[in-house]
Amino acid sequence: MAKLYFKYGAMGSSKTAQALITKFNYEERDMKVWLIKPAVDKRDGADIIQSRIGLSAVCEPIGTEDDIFHMYQVDHGDIDVIIADECQFFTEAHVDALRRIVDECNIPVLCFGLRTDFLCHLFTGSRRLFEVADSIAEIKTICSCGAKATVNARLDGDMNVVTEGAQVMLGGNDCYLAMCHKCWQKKINEQKNK
């Protein structure tokens, strides 16, 4: 029986690397993988998924208006598994389409992504995955203090924590730092007191 999996973690927790390793494991067993990501993520190219440790693979970008269920039926009916990266950027309809593929087509779907944004608010795709996924697992990483990191702190050019702005701002280690909530709040308070 296929399941919908959501594997989430803070920035730097190796989500993308794990997605690509999972892809490799399926393909090593001669299984066909449909690797997808939201089209909004163009950091490494429109159709590339790349991890910080250098693993990469070609994927299919999913636009906001794309019907994933229809795409599966028309072009990908022979696949064995769907692996989705950066799934926090999916719409509710995208997640519901993935859920439908699991239920109606018995195809496992593994989603990797962030839980929350730089202000600790759920992303739309993540929220829907928490609501409908069969399996939810955290991929852990640590703050510089050694505690578990849960916050994706957005940084400006002076390494100050940003507390205003659009929810989606693509970036990597140059723009974000995984922190525990205590250190994040402490840094914000220190900045206010300057």
DSSP string, the chain: ---EEEEE--TTS-HHHHHHHHHHHHHHTT--EEEEEETT--TT-TTEEE-TTS-EEE-EEE-TT--HHHHHHHH-TT-SEEEESSGGGS-HHHHHHHHHHHHHH---EEEEE-SB-TTSPBPHHHHHHHHH-SEEEE---B-TTSSBP-EEEEB-TTSPBP--S-S-----TTTEEEE-HHHHHHHHHHHHT-
Q: Is 86 a catalytic residue?
A: yes
Q: Which residue has the tokens 């709040």?
A: 185
Kindly report the length of the chain.
Answer: 194
d(CA 186, CA 93): 37
Catalytic pick from 28, 60, 65, 86?
86
Structure tokens, 11: 């920035």
Q: Give catalytic residue positions.
A: 86
